[in-house]
Amino acid sequence: METAEIRRRWLSFFGERGHTVVPSAPLVHEDPNLLFVNAGMVPFKPYFLGQETPPFSRATSVQKCVRTLDIEEVGKTTRHGTFFQMNGNFSFGDYFKEGAIELAWELITRSQRDGGLGFDEKDLYASVYHEDDEAISLWKKVAGLSDDRIVRLGRKDNYWNMGVAGPGGPCSEILLDRGPQFGADRDWEAGDRYLEFWNLVFMQYELENVRSKEDFDIAGELPKRNIDTGMGLERVAYLLQGVDNIYETDEVFPVIAAAEDLTGRRYGADRDDDVRFRVVADHVRSSLMLIGDGVTPGNEGRGYVLRRLLRRAVRSMRLLGVDAPTLEHLLPVSKERMKASYPELERDFHRISQVAYGEEDAFRRTLAAGTTILDTAVASAKSSGRSTLGGAEAFALHDTYGFPIDLTLEMAAEQGVQVDETGFRALMAEQRDRAKADARAKKSGHGDTSVYRRVSDTLGREVEFTGYDQVVTDSRVRGLIRGGEVVERFGPGDEVELVLDRTPLYAESGGQLADHGRIRLSGGAVLEVTDVQRPIAGLVVHRATVLEGEGAVGEDAEAEVDVARRRSISRAHTATHMVHQALRDELGDTATQAGSENSPGRLRFDFRSQQAVPAGALGEIESRINGVLLDDLPVTADIMGIDDARKLGAMALFGEKYGERVRVVSIGDWSRELCIGTHTPRVGQIGVVKLLGESSIGSGVRRVEALVGVDAYTHLAREAAIVSQLTEVVGGRRDELPDRIAGILGRLRDAEKEIAAVKQAQVLGAAAGLVSSAREIAGVRFVSHDAGDGVSADELRALVLDVRTRLGNERPTLVSMASVSGGRPVVIVATNEQARQTGLQAGALVKVAAQALGGGGGGKPDLAQGGGTDPTQVSRALGVVEDQLRARGA
């Protein structure tokens, strides 16, 4: 039975029995404690915790899940996987133990012909919490299980809680006896004989003082008892499909089969290869599903997990012998298997594939550069008698070249060298701490937020923001912080953080920089505000310098905004909304915001895209924005319900959490976004927007920068002056300038090509003499040549291939050459077909040669290249290849 059919039967079975069929939630969840949804009950957590009232009394779902704790174990065992699907049925104060057991037993034992899963009753067992006599009697009553088929287990195995105070209760698992070939009789914990595939959680108690999974106190009965069950879809699939593990099921194995075709190797033939095949299959599917739910590769959080999965898949294919791009062959296979359950994958596959293929291309470049550097570092360690690569070296590979530590560990181990992982982790922690300290210094002035909590508690409510309508507001001083301590007074020259109960000054958020301004106290003190932040929710802190006078908590105050700065920032913020809308109009709805900064006269807008914006398209976007400026559309802000905002088409930021009431900023009927920032009343007040260009800032994320208003006019005037100067230098009219410069550059390129052609001809001119110098060693025609200094790798490769071609394919031929270019040695080895049939592999030979140069290399059996750091060892490197050849004939 195919996995999609098991899924369909599950939803149909419970749907027909009064359960609301709830679609799978996205893998990215609003819970800040979770990177991804990792269990089927996660979307229902607010109902179990009593935070929300469930809209149904019973529900069912097949939930997408990702768990990342055991990424390194994927492929090494047949149980560890990152993406999986969890079938669940849930009761919220409706049926309880008896109903859950009846439903489970009916579905799994009903014949497949009648819509069930068709498990044989004689092979099924149940485990229960050892004190749950009610569940034991129900298994006997409902399923007819005898005592010897009911297993009593303790809290570790059969009691569920969330890890914090709240609901919990005993659980009961359904196990399948797979037979004596999988383990000993009645051995419940060892081996794979008794396999649990469905867990029924009986949520009936309120727990408190939860110290661990097994150590907690039961406060009493819940007012409403609930049911939470989970059946692993992949696990049931491999049981029903007669295979041994999740990797061999119908949704996963086709990727392994495609990898077999690409590599020429066979799954099941080699243990190490099997691990790599399984890593590829698991990670390709997980990446497909994560990108489908909006995750893009990055260096932190969810993005880092996705990047790691994709790169491990690519790396595993390289270890299986394929150096060429492979995701373009594997990802579509996974999509074809998964689209039956998730049709949106077909619809969004263009976007998904572009993200994945772009990351593979980026990683291939990283791998090429990082491998050479790593090989050099390993060779250096070995030559100095060390068996460990230093933590600083591993950190440099990660920090400077983007080489992941897990690959450094794997590749160093392949060369028999360990890595000082402890030293690496320490340096990473130091870097992370510095980054956090910098962020805290900017946002709060110091790392201890408890001081803000104390001020907030005395305030008793959120600070009111009046800046949408006012630039001057009467207020009162409610809190003072100086040097990280709460104080009651301040004096001239003090640097303080001041809290008012009302303020017109905007605190930095949503990409908009903070207002500047002044605060005047009733006692005569004047403070200059240089920053405004929200260090904790509901609290606005004004960072200020006391220009004159003294003041104290409780004084009346007048807060005033620097209007010129506010207007300049507001123009930039409104222009940012316009850039966002114009990009979507030009590139499509996938060009969604990934970040922004609105500063005086300037904006920065980051958006998701796998490809650069063509220069012509950027011009169209700029033209469209300035055309709308001429229309002088009004900019309005309305507070409404989140559902109404969505109906109006208001854009929201991916990953942001919004309340039930939101602020919608509209530019006429042309653009609508959820936004809390300040804006110009009409777009005509912006004046002009000048896009400076766009660039990549990471895989799948690009950046547009622009000038706004007076800053844009100044920039255009400066550009006009530069054009005038260039026109004087090259002559002619302004409109002829591009053609004249293009002509000059074209002539320069032609001259460079002629010089390169002459140099190439000189190098290739040596080919005839090298052919005549071929020697016979161990039955192989062999040419070895030191091309000297100044011959590039490309030129050397052309010479090697020319000599190999001239020697023909009638007899085994091996060509080995080296040169030095830019102070770095390079070695290239080529074999013909006859030589390869005798076992001569260019890739293997070049690795040995490159080691002599203090580096590394690799390539295909017919042509391979290596390099190093020691140009004085070129003769030795060539000699090593000759020694390898002679050793064959010994």
Q: Is residue 735 part of a domain?
A: no
For residue 839, give the CATH number of its domain: 3.10.310.40
Phi, psi for residue 229 in degrees, rounded to 5: -120, 160
For residue 530, give the CATH number of its domain: 2.40.30.130
| DSSP code per residue over 471-528 | SEEEEEEEEEEETTEEESEE-TT-EEEEEESEE-SPPSBTTBPPP-EEEEETTS-EEE
- If asked whether residues 671 and 778 sit together in one domain, one would say no
Q: Is residue 443 part of a domain?
A: no
Q: Is residue 501 part of a domain?
A: yes
For residue 71, give the CATH number of its domain: 3.30.930.10
Count the residues in the chain. 890
- If asked whether residues 181 and 85 sit together in one domain, one would say yes
pLDDT at site 439: 47
Q: Is residue 796 part of a domain?
A: yes
C-alpha atoms less than 13 angstroms from C-alpha of 863 in its C-beta half-sphere: 12
- If asked whether residues 675 and 538 sit together in one domain, one would say no
pLDDT at site 640: 92
Phi, psi for residue 493 in degrees, rounded to 5: 85, -10
What's the CA gap between 514 and 598, in Å, rounded?
10
CA-based end-to-end distance of the chain: 59
pLDDT at site 388: 85
- If asked whether residues 372 and 466 sit together in one domain, one would say no
End position of a domain, from candidates 430, 464, 479 = 430
- If asked whether residues 177 and 318 sit together in one domain, one would say no
End position of a domain, from candidates 368, 402, 430 = 430
End position of a domain, from candidates 381, 396, 430 = 430
Give the DSSP H or E segment for 373.
helix 349-383
pLDDT at site 447: 44
Give the DSSP H or E segment for 746.
helix 737-764
Quick check: 291 and 334 in contact, CB under 8 A?
Answer: no
What's the CA gap between 206 and 221, in Å, rounded?
6
Q: What's 700-727 look like in SS3?
A: CEEEEEEEECHHHHHHHHHHHHHHHHHH
pLDDT at site 653: 63
Geometric angle at alpha carbon 772, from 766 and 776, rounded to 5°: 130
Residue 792 structural domain: 765-889
- If asked whether residues 494 and 424 sit together in one domain, one would say no
679 marked ligand binding residue: yes
For residue 665, give the CATH number of its domain: 3.30.980.10
Q: Is residue 264 part of a domain?
A: yes
- If asked whether residues 405 and 547 sit together in one domain, one would say no
- If asked whether residues 172 and 296 sit together in one domain, one would say no
- If asked whether residues 876 and 859 sit together in one domain, one would say yes
pLDDT at site 189: 67
Nearest CA to 310 out of 766, 223, 295 is that of: 295
Instruction: Please name the residue that has the structure tokens 């591009």.
Output: 738
Phi, psi for residue 564 in degrees, rounded to 5: -60, -45
DSSP 352: H
pLDDT-flagged residues of the chain (< 70): 30-33, 70, 78-79, 189-191, 369, 400-402, 404, 432-449, 610, 653-659, 698-699, 756, 759-760, 762-764, 890
Number of structural domains the chain divides into? 5
Q: Is residue 93 part of a domain?
A: yes
446 marked ligand binding residue: no
| DSSP code per residue over 111-143 | -GGGTS----GGGEEEEEETT-HHHHHHIIIII
pLDDT at site 741: 83
Q: Is residue 436 part of a domain?
A: no
Tens digit of each residue's pLDDT (9 = 90 or more) over 670-697: 999 999 999 999 999 999 999 988 888 7
- If asked whether residues 83 and 164 sit together in one domain, one would say yes
Nearest CA to 802 out of 773, 770, 767, 837 is that of: 767
Q: Cα dihedral sign for 605, 609, 612, 613?
A: negative
Nearest CA to 796 out of 768, 842, 769, 762 is that of: 762
Tens digit of each residue's pLDDT (9 = 90 or more) over 296-324: 887 778 888 898 899 899 989 988 989 89
Phi, psi for residue 47 in degrees, rounded to 5: -75, -40
- If asked whether residues 71 and 209 sit together in one domain, one would say yes
- If asked whether residues 202 and 312 sit together in one domain, one would say no
Q: Is residue 746 part of a domain?
A: no
Quick check: 160 and 201 in contact, CB under 8 A?
Answer: yes
